[in-house]
Structure 1
Amino acid sequence: MEQALVIGGTRFIGRHLVTELLDHDYAVTLFNRGTHENPFADNDSVGHIAGDRRSGAALKAARDAVDPDLVVDCVAYYPGEVRMATRVFEAVDAYVFISSGAAYGPDVIPKREDETPLEPCSDDEAVDDSERTYGARKAEGDRAVFEAAENSVQAMSVRPPIVYGPYDYTGRFAYWVDRVRDHDRVLVPGDGTNIHHLVAVENVVRGIRAVAEEGTAGEAYNVANRRILTLGDLLESIADALDTDVELVTAGARELGRLEPTDFPLYNPNPHILSTAKLADLNWDPVDVQTTIANAVDDPAEPERDPGPDVAETRAVLDRLV
């Protein structure tokens, strides 16, 4: 049985990844600080080592205790963390860094791993903790993976766009589920044709496993749903999953008044589409989109926040558009 060490592993992507690995006969150990509830605390098949991933000594202690074949880094948000981890785990069969589709720079359609340039990252941005530098930091983490591979480390990268599914604590997908479930009319920014490529968490973890087992060191792999939905199509699919009818009321900048289209989650003024052809060449078996939407609609978790305009704000706009 292969040994997997998951850095993180208790919240969203990591939680699903642990289940995916267990289902495919891996022995799994979590490495994290233990600040979030461990959903696998009662599972004898999942070990836990407490430690700070920012500490090289703690990473080495986890390595020595587990002797992992596979390491998946779910919570590396700074390139220095990736460089440290690839040094500590230089001898493993596979180190997989979870990067982001935000690592890409220009608004190219679609974004391809071996063609589309990555965001630049200055020294100051590499240690900044603001949302503004998230994509740049992930891009520099990817470059750290490439550098490690040049030194014979079996390091690879997986780039998802916005992820949705059960236990998503961001509230971005849940915002729209709540509006469709609770209201007959739903305010949609723009004309409903906005496209921001999404990916179900089920497909992310299947992609991570495929990369770990079949990927090539020094390579990055996009992971996203095989079917791309506009925002309007997504809301209609949510309505289908809820077995309800909803009227989508579109509104441009003038109709929105004080609201901005970008105030709404999952809205992107520029199409964001990732090519998944490279991952499809591996042993990746994605779940169909409607099934994943139905799974996400049934999410038992409560998100940490409601990331879009509140009901009163959107109702005021809807009342003007009657």
Structure 2
Amino acid sequence: MAGMTDTALVIGGTRFIGRHTVSELLANDYEVGMLNRGTHENPFSDDDRVTHIEGDRKNERDLRTAKLSVEPDVVIDCVAYQPADVETAADVFGDVDGYVYISSGDSYAAEEIPKREGETPLRPCTPEQATDDGSNTYGNRKAEGDRVVFAAAEEGVRAMAVRPCIVYGPYDYTERLDYWIDRVLSHDRVVVPGDGQNLWHRAYVEDVASALRIVAERGEAGRAYNVGDRRALTLEETLEAIADAAGADCELVTASADALAAGGLEPDDFVLYREYPHLLDTCALADLGWESTPVDEAMARTVAEHREADRDGSEWDPGREAEERVLGVKETL
């Protein structure tokens, strides 16, 4: 099908996952249309292979206008945050060769290792949650979007879902990994919460983009596909990978909850810390021919772009003074 599907519509497309998805599609000889509100700078403004349609994805007329303008073979939906968004899109694009909804690993309800598509239960979603826009209901809304995809496929729509875990890489506006990169680059001693062995599965953004394309081309209607690094790193291994990529000499100092308390801190004050391991099974995606970028390569590209950007992850900073108190306590033990 890849040879026939040469036009794609990306709903979103300028910031992070969408930006990399547009690049992935261009690299695979697609002509690309982007539908977004135009509130962020368009990195593809000088590329005549990319058509920008300004519009609101919540406006059905704007979706239909984009469809008429682009005549897409495949649609990648990067910004569907409420189930109604997915319902409308699955209706408007019901006759395309592939509609792919970006869901989330947060749609899973059960803490299992690993979390498997079709086996691990999904979160419920009440009518009140379905129309919310807060972070507490994010996973519920993504899970309901998955169920919309499954129902659309039952009606003959070639609709699929892709569930990334925490996504990292160049242009990451969440700045979650930027916090840790900044710490490793800026300090010779870095506090790591717990024993450093906590595991929160991550997905390199270019691999998420290739997963979206591959699922659009080869995925099975009505299925969800997990995406994450084939080699999942603990937090300590993640910081070591950052240090290796940056050529930095940095001592990682693990700190128990008691040691952190000396600085008025607790493990959850640190971004990307998760007490129970979060790991997604990615075998279904690999069976489609998808491969992930080796972690050292992915981290090298991520660190290189971080150095060029002005992101430092400071919004996630638990406070260096508090960390210094923890380091002082650790030295006396």
Give the C-alpha shift of residue 75 in structure 1: 0.6
Match of 2:309 among 282, 301, 304: 301
Q: Which piece of structure 1 moves more, 277-286 or 26-35?
A: 277-286
Q: Give the corresponding residue for 2:273.
A: 267
**Structure 1: unaligned runs, 5 residues or longer:** none
CA contact (8 A) 2:182 2:313 kept: no
SS at match of 2:284: helix
Paired position in structure 1 for 2:251: 247
Would the aligned equivalents of 2:199 and 2:234 in 1 still touch at CA under 8 Å?
A: yes
1:311 equivalent in alignment to 2:320: yes
What corresponds to 1:281 in structure 2? 287
Structure 2 unpaired stretches of 5+: none
Letter in 1 for 2:318: P
Q: CA deviation at 1:316?
A: 2.4
Give the counterpart of 1:225 among 226, 229, 241: 229
Matches within 5 A, 1:119-130: 119-130=123-134
Q: State the partner residue of 1:192.
A: 196
Matched letter for residue 293 of structure 1: M
Paired AA for residue 66 in structure 2: A
Please give the secondary structure, in 2, of the residue aligned with 1:240: helix
CA contact (8 A) 1:214 1:283 kept: no
Q: Distance in 1 between matches of 2:138 and 2:269?
A: 18
Which segment drifts farther, 8-17 or 283-292? 283-292
Work out the CA distance in 2 between the residues paired with 1:302 and 1:210. Answer: 32
Q: 2: distance between equivalents of 1:226 and 1:234?
A: 14
Shift of 1:2: 1.3
Residues 171-203 of structure 1: per-residue CA shift (max 9 Å, x gap) = 110111111111110000000000001110011
Contact 1:194/1:231, CA 8 A, preserved across alignment: yes
State which of 165, 174, 177 in structure 2 corresponds to 1:173.
177
Distance 2:23 2:93 in 1: 23
RMSD value, Cα:
1.1
- Distance in 1 between residues matched to 2:319 and 2:217, nearest whole Å: 44
1:321 partnered with 2:330: yes
CA contact (8 A) 1:169 1:301 kept: no
3-state secondary structure, aligned to 1:248? strand
> How far has the Cα of 1:305 moved from its partner?
4.8
Is the Cα–Cα contact under 8 Å of residues 178 and 312 in structure 2 kept in the other structure? no
Q: Decide which of 138, 156, 161 is 2:160's aligned counterpart.
A: 156
SS of structure 1 residue aligned to 2:192: strand
Cα distance per residue 1:119-176 (max 9 Å; x no partner): 1111111111111111111000101100110110110000000000000011110111
After superposition, residues 1-322 of structure 1 pair within 5 angstroms as 2-257=6-261, 258-299=264-305, 300-303=308-311, 305-306=313-314, 307-322=316-331
Letter in 2 for 1:78: Q
TM-score (norm 2): 0.95
Residues 272 and 6 (structure 1 numbering): CA distance in 2 closer, same or farther, change over 3 Å? same
Deviation string for 1:191-227 (max 9, x for gaps)? 0000001110011111111101110110000000000
Distance in 2, matches of 1:277 and 1:95, equals: 21
CA offset digits 1:282-313 (Å, max 9, x no partner): 02122111100111111233338522313222
Instruction: Give the TM-score normalised by structure 1.
Output: 0.98
Alpha-carbon spacing, 1:4–1:187, altered in 2? closer, same or farther (3 Å): same
8 Å contact from structure 1 (residues 168, 301) kept in 2? no
With over 3 angstroms needed to count, the CA separation of the structure-2 counterparts of 1:304 and 1:82, relative to structure 1, is farther
Q: Verify the 8 A CA contact 2:179 2:312 in the aligned structure 1.
A: no
